[in-house]
Amino acid sequence: MLLLWRFLILAASLLTMSVVSCATFLPLHRAFPLNHTLELDQLRARDRVRHARLLQDVVGGVVDFSVRGSPDPYLIGIDGSSTPLLYFTKVKLGSPPREFNVQIDTGSDVLWVTCSSCSNCPQSSGLGVQLNYFDTASSSTAGLVPCSHPICTSEMQTAATECSPQSTLCSYSFQYGDGSGTTGFYVSDTFYFDAVLGESLISNSSAVIVFGCSTFQSGDLAKTDKAIDGILGFGQGDLSVISQLSSHGVTPRVFSHCLKGEGNGGGILVLGEILEPGIVYSPLVPSQPHYNLNLQSIAVNGQLLSIDPAAFVTSSNRGTIVDSGTTLAYLVQEAYDPFVSAVTAMVQPYATPTIYRGDQCYRVSNSISEVFPPVSLNFAGGASMLLKPEDYLIRVGYILF
């Protein structure tokens, strides 16, 4: 029996953002059963939708959030439906506090949750989570944000912020490239979190923030199999939670997001600076709408590939973006072809190259860790992401003889 493997065009998740001083945490957990096979083109199609949905628009401590999710690109919901890779955390809002499961998204800015008055919103979820709804009338600290609020009148205003003549409330409408979207209004209320004050001391803390209350959802957001309570935007805008907590002096405007790729999955989401363990930083490309890094080279088994450095340069239509909502990692053709050629040349005595559905694949009878070389993606500042064969290959089936 031979195993058929193909390139996953994938990597593990990247490290994060910049230098800081204290922190706050959100833990990540795996929420789904594994071992469900999807085709690679289904994952690519999902990522194409994901990329279309990216919104285009210092003192303090550490805040810690638990994270749930799976590192496996093939997972299945409890109702048997296939679901996209998803990492999410819990946030507590309102008085008394209620918990909401929200997707962690570095590609957008605003935290929004589903309102109790939402129409066309899912009533159940195929992800195995209980859906909750925010009710402004049930929170003693909730305040409706008026049109006179700075988010509607100042530099904090986004292209999605609205203030119609028919209403005195500051509302929003997010429309995504795949046709899905959400509309609602902004609410000011208490946001609860665990602040790490010392080596092991954790304090229950809170701050008043502005977030969205969704009254209508469409497209994929309205589908039951992918339903969740909302989205926690960790973009660079002033309305993101990280920016708002920084303005309150709770944490520096820095966060770290680690997606665990082995075992039970999950990971951590930390607002503020982590001093230990040691972290290697790679600077962000300035003046970009998303989190861009400078990928400088790729090495296979320690040997740098001959790739024109221009292939990695950030421009209006290319560059390396760190996005927590994308399943696979992608290389431009000028980098992908030399990468595949180098791996193929190294494994040919032990693996039989073959083309399967248009992709470069390999028939392997041994463990891939014994056959395929390690790969490293090298970034500015001396940061390298080391990939094992399991990180850039994916098994697509068995061949029986």
Q: What is the mean pLDDT of the chain?
A: 77
Q: In the structure, what pLDDT confidence band is assigned to residue 366 with cuts at 50, 70 and 90?
A: confident
Please state the rounded mean pLDDT for residues 328-352.
Answer: 91
Q: Is 105 in the active site? A: yes
User: In sequence order, what DSSP letters do the residues of 236-284 get, joined into one string?
Assistant: SSTTSHHHHHHHTTSS-S-EEEEE--STT--EEEEEE---SS-----PB
Q: In the prediction, which pLDDT does 54 show?
A: 45
More confident residue, 62 or 171: 171
Do 268 and 16 contact (CB within 8 A), yes or no? no
Residue 208 has pLDDT above 90, yes or no: yes
Q: Which helix (H) or strand (E) holds 119?
A: strand 111-119
How far is the C-alpha of 153 from the C-alpha of 32, rounded, in Å? Answer: 43
Amino acid occupying residue 123: Q
Ranking 65-79, 96-110, 169-183, 206-220 by mean pLDDT, the lowest is 65-79
**Catalytic residue list contains 72:** no
User: Whole-structure pTM over 0.85, yes or no?
Assistant: no
Output 368 or 62, whichever has higher pLDDT: 368
d(CA 210, CA 249): 16
Q: Specify the range with the lowest mean pLDDT, choosing from 15-29, 98-112, 146-160, 228-242.
A: 15-29
Q: Of these residues, 47, 105, 225, 391, which one is catalytic?
A: 105
Determine the Cα–Cα distance for residues 205 and 60; give it in Å rounded to an integer: 12
Do 187 and 143 form a contact (C-beta atoms < 8 A)?
yes
pLDDT confidence of residue 219: 87
Whether 276 has a pLDDT exceeding 70, the answer reads no
Q: Which of 78, 87, 162, 91 is nearest to 124 (CA)?
A: 78
Lowest average pLDDT, out of 27-31, 76-80, 374-378, goes to 76-80
Residue 92 has pLDDT above 50, yes or no: yes
- Catalytic residue, from 64, 189, 323, 391: name it: 323
